[in-house]
Each structure stands twice: as C-alpha cells, then as structure tokens.
Amino acid sequence: MNIKGLYLEELAKQLALLGEPAYRAEQLLQWVYVKQAESFEQMSNLSAALRAKLAEEFTLNAVSEVTTRHATDTTEKFLFQLNDGSLIETVLIPATPGLTSTDDRQTVCVSTQVGCAFGCKFCASGLDGFKRNLSAAEIVDQVWQTQKLTKEKVNNIVVMGMGEPFANYENVLRALRILNAPWAFGIGARKMTVSTVGIVTGIRRLAEEPMQIRLAVSLHGATDDVRGKIMPINRKFPMNELVAACEYYAATKGKMLTFEYILIKDVNDMIEQAHKLAAMARRVHAKVNLIPHNPVEGLGWQRPDRDRCKVFQHVLRQAAISATLRIDKGADIAAACGQLRLQCERAT
Ligand code: SF4
C-alpha cells in the first residue's frame, strides 16, 4: 500500500489496525508532504519500532527519476520509472515572464497511463500501444518528485501527459483529491485542468463532481471528416455527441471550458475549419488554445508556418472567440506527448 495514494482517513484506519492513535496519520503525512521525507528512516520523531512496522506495511515512493531534460525556455521534462520498470513522462512548465505571463505559476503536466490505447495520429504516446493504468499514488508522486527535484512549489496541475484520464477515471480523481487536500499539496481545484480526447461519458461524469476542476477537450478538427482523420475516438463519440456533452458540462458547472486544437499543415489548418470551430466554441462558450504541431519522428505531419497559424487565430478572434496561439515550449527537449519515453525505450 503506497501512502501517496491514500486519503488521511484511510491512513488513519490502517494505522488504527496497527494499534496507532489517530493523530499518527497527520504526523506521518506531514513527513511526506511538508518535510518531503523519502524514507520512513527519516521520520525521526517516530520510534524505531514504528518506523520498522511502517516500512513493512507501506511503501513511500512510486516513481523515480531516470533522466531530466532542461529546455532553453526553462521547461523541464522528467522521465520517471515505475516500480515495475515502466517509463512515464512528466513536465514542469514554469510561467516565463516575457514569454507567457508574469505570474508565478508552476505547472506540472502529469501522465495517467503507461502508453495509450487511443492512437491519435499526431501523438507519440500511442505508438507502442497501451500497457496499464497508473495508480493514484503514481500520479501524485509525479508531482511530489517534481517538487523535490526542482525545489519549486507546484501550484497548477494539467492532466495532459501520456494516457487518457477518463479511461482511468477513479485513480485520476483520487489523485486530484489528494493533490487538492490541505494535508497534502493544497492545490485549488480551479488550478487543475483535465484534458480529454473526447470521452463523452467522462465529460458528463466530471460535470457531476463537486470539485470545480477545469476541462479541456482535444478537438483538433471542427468536422467529423477532418477530426476522424486525426482522432480514431471520433468514430465512437462523433462531434454532435461531444459538443452536446461539452454543453452539458458548461451548463452544469457554469464554467468555461477549453478546446485544444493542434494545428497540422494541410490537415486541419484550413480557414473553413476555423469558421466551423468558431461556431462550435460560441455554442459551448469555450475558449480555444491553438498549438502548432510538434513534429514527431516516424509520423509524417508538419507544422504550418507562423503566418498560417496567425490567420487561423485571427478568424476565431474576428468571431469574438478567445483564442490563444501557444508559444512553443520545450520543443528542444522532445516535449510533445510521449516522445522522450519513446526515444528512451527505443534506444534500449
Ligand atoms: S493525445 Fe492523449 S489520448 Fe491521444 S494518443 Fe496521445 S496520449 Fe493518447
């Protein structure tokens, strides 16, 4: 049982079974989340006998660093190994004054699965197929290790790394509740964004959650024919069902959601797609995040030139849609989803 996957009350119950008083759970979690202890041995105000008992019953670390790549724009990408040897990626994206904004946001992008079954055509994560879901502890520990390695206080979470979060719904929500808990990271739910490939059932389920988590939907096409070429999931959940679920989310939560749109040269960057995207965004009160494609080795698609991206953005803005064109972060460290892991696995 990994401590980073447990709620305070669950840990208290487990400790009660070992004959420990209720306050012990808080004491232990302080060691984990405030003092960032890496082993039970370091928990010096617990007796040696208790530390030995804890080490028998629980584990503390779920991921460990294999390598870190630093981009010139200060983005850092971590390749982590899980206890079964699988590799996953986590990215720290600091707000960079002059590049994005002047605030002190430290965003961590976490993975939720090893590999991915969804096979989006622009993405490296799905190239070697799906292996397994991550546990809540493995998701939480990505943030924990990132804080420990960088000494930065993480205050923003995006669930946009390897895997589809709604295909691992229970563990992802458990991890987000732990990251939100005052006894763990205390990161506000409004500072968390879950990004989905468009799993309609997951969108509707998230709308019912009491936590005010933000939603981003990977659209990447504004019509079924264009989106279908890029995202196989469109066959299962076509645009009309997806947009209806987004409308439901927006109405239930009273919140704006984001459409993510990776611009791929001559595939989805046509002006006619921009007009259709604008109409859809207006319907569900979504803002649009345009991301120039990061070419992936082995996948043929290209990024449109900057002018083309700007024209696409202009069409949206003319239609009064809030549309940002992402400044490319981390391109020099294989920041596109799954690339670092793929490079490492194929090199070994
Ligand atoms: S974009 Fe996300 S859902 Fe699509 S293949 Fe990559 S990891 Fe999977």
Higher pLDDT, 273 or 325: 273
Query: Who lines ligand 1 at CB under 6 A?
Result: 116, 118-120, 123, 125-126, 162-164, 197, 337
Judge contact between 294 and 252, C-beta under 8 A. Answer: no
Q: How confident is the model at residue 343 (pLDDT cuts 50, 70, 90)?
A: low
Residue among 199, 337, 340, 342 whose CB has most ligand 1 atoms within 8 A, to mutate = 337
β-strand 192-196 against 214-218: which pairing, if any? parallel
- How remote is the CA of residue 123 from the centroid of ligand 1, in Å? 6
3-state secondary structure at position 19: coil
Pick from 6-20, 237-251, 258-272, 297-311: least confident: 297-311
For the chain, the domains span 3-57, 63-347
> For all residues of the chain together, what is the average pLDDT?
90
- How remote is the CA of residue 5 from the centroid of ligand 1, in Å? 24
Kindly report, residue by residue over 287-320, the tens digit of the pLDDT. 999 999 888 777 788 999 999 999 999 999 999 9
For the entire predicted model, the pTM comes to: 0.92
Q: What is the pLDDT of residue 72?
A: 72
Q: What is the pLDDT of residue 50?
A: 93
Average pLDDT over residues 239-254: 95
Q: CA-to-CA distance for 174 and 136, rounded, in angstroms? A: 6
- The CATH number given to 3-57 is 1.10.150.530
Count of CB atoms situated within 10 Å of the CB of 325:
18
Known catalytic residues are: 89, 337
Q: CA-to-CA distance for 304 and 301, rounded, in angstroms? A: 10
Q: What is the pLDDT of residue 337?
A: 55
Kindly report, residue by residue over 135-176, the tens digit of the pLDDT. 999 999 999 999 999 998 999 999 999 999 999 999 999 999
Residue with tokens 């000494």: 151
β-strand 130-133 against 113-115: which pairing, if any? antiparallel
Average pLDDT over residues 241-248: 97
- The CATH number given to 63-347 is 3.20.20.70
Does 335 score more than 70 pLDDT? Answer: no
Higher pLDDT, 124 or 164: 164
